[in-house]
Amino acid sequence: MTQLALVIDLNVCVGCHACVTSCKQWNTSGWAGPLPDQNPYEADPSGTFFNRVQTFEIGKFPNTETLHFPKSCLHCEEPPCVPVCPTGASYKREDNGVVLVDYDKCIGCKYCSWACPYGVREFDEKNKVMKKCTLCIDRITDMTLPEAERKPACVLSCPTNARLYGDVHDPDSEVSVAIRERGGYQLQPEWGTQPANHYLPRRKVRIHIHEDELVRSDNPLVKEDLAALPEDVDTLDDVAW
């Protein structure tokens, strides 16, 4: 059986959020929309996103690295969200393995959200239904589009080609080769959900920052010998020029 999925290369993802915005644009006006936002940016954000990019700092200052980690529905081969749904709204397509939600059947009980160990189900406060990544099902199954365009919007928009798409059950597909040859792995496989989406690990890069490199050579305070302020001055605004 075909199992369509994404493979995300963490080594080249730059956290530009092109995947987030393109996903929002395509799905808001498409089969899965709308995706309303009430408060998307502040301390307690609310809104509906199919794809999010989380950013982490790894290491100890000054030797740190930044990791951008995109995450969306993983289209599990054993999706725990499906059997808990009391109305059958959550289901897995037999022809391509994509996990979807039938909005006409969904009653917004959030059982699927509680069952998902990855936290990728989101409640649409306006329409009172659960929503999630559809892998752009309306696009990838549209035979009127050229084959090169029958890919998820996030894949087409990624400027660094960090997102690969294909059938992970086909050993000769681009995604299967990448997983096999580049150490692709599943997220939290211990849950037994067999997520179809995989990640390609970051290559280990060791960067040592010397103490004298913490101050930029072109710092104007250093050039003008203003790095140390007089004791009676708190800020440069208080200096009489």
Averaged pLDDT of the chain? 86
Question: If you average pLDDT over residues 229-239, what whole number do you get?
Answer: 50
pLDDT of residue 125: 85
The predicted pLDDT at position 107 comes to: 96
Is the pLDDT at 176 greater than 80? The verdict is yes
Is the dihedral angle over the CA atoms 118, 120, 121, 123 positive or is it negative? positive
> Hey, what CATH topology would domain 4-200 get?
Alpha-Beta Plaits (3.30.70)
41 closest CA partner among 20, 12, 14:
20
Kindly state the percentage of the chain with pLDDT values over 70. 83
- Rounded CA-CA distance 51/22 in Å is 10
